[in-house]
Amino acid sequence: MSVSLMKKVNKLYNETMALADPRADDYPFTDSPLINTLHVIFYLLIVVYVGPRLMKNRKAYNMREIIVTYNFLMVAFSSYTFYELLAGGWANGYSLVCQECDFSRSPQALRMQRACFLFWMSKHIEFFDTYFFVLKKKTNQITFLHVFHHSYMAYIWWWGFKFTPGGLGTFHAPINSLVHVIMYIYYGISAMGPSYRKYLWWKKYLTALQMVQFCTTTAHLLNILLFNDCNYATAFVYILLASGIVFFILFADFWVKTYSKQRQQQVDSQLCKRSGKPEEQEIYSKKHN
């Protein structure tokens, strides 16, 4: 990289950071995007490369008690974040039509900022979801959707907190926090063992709820862009809009691959049992095992 180009990049960076919310200086890890970026890179290296190789010739760890405790602690943390996001604005005067970010030091504005910080922190804590998959050798659960969602949300929310910790761009945060309350209840029950799996018949409805959240937030942002002239960072609106669309497509693809396949397996199993033919049962067994 030439000296001239480095100077231009540095100038652009300084000009961009000059637009940041000065109140963010009151919080840790917000001076620059370096720590946030390095932690996301560390996460990707661990779950994609280092972890699987370290665990290749090792037995999966039995971490039931730790994982159950972690999941229910995340239920509590997500519940608290959800409450604070509502109290900071979304149930305390925020407009669904056009809500600008309040950069003042009023009690409510500062409360919303703290809630946004908690939400951003939660995205880094949630990296443990994947670390546990690695240690348990549940590689089938470390999908592109899972890894992309975790790393993207942790990375992008640093910028959200640094520049616009409040206003219409945070509309998805309380919805996401509520979804995560339900999600970690599911994970917690699942981690308690096979005898509790009978209570988890509602997994596909959890996936449907996640898709609904993306539809809701996308519709909200489209309404802002198309029908309301709102004084809010346009770049963030477009980033959030694109994120909602991409995540909906990825979750929809997951739905089709997971639940359509399960449905087909059920149909094949029923046909196989009705036929009573050993050769067909053998074919079914090879196909699905």
* Active site members: 149
Integer-rounded Cα Rg, in Å, for the chain is 22
Cα–Cα distance, 187 to 78 (Å, whole number)? 14
Give the pair of three-digit tokens for residue 63.
């971490």
Give the pair of three-digit tokens for residue 194.
């096979």
Q: Is 104 exposed, middle or buried (0-12, 13-18, 19+ CB in 10 A)?
A: exposed
Give the pair of three-digit tokens for residue 103.
């950069």
Largest alpha-carbon pair distance within the chain? 77
End-to-end CA distance of the chain: 53
Cα–Cα distance, 77 to 74 (Å, whole number)? 5
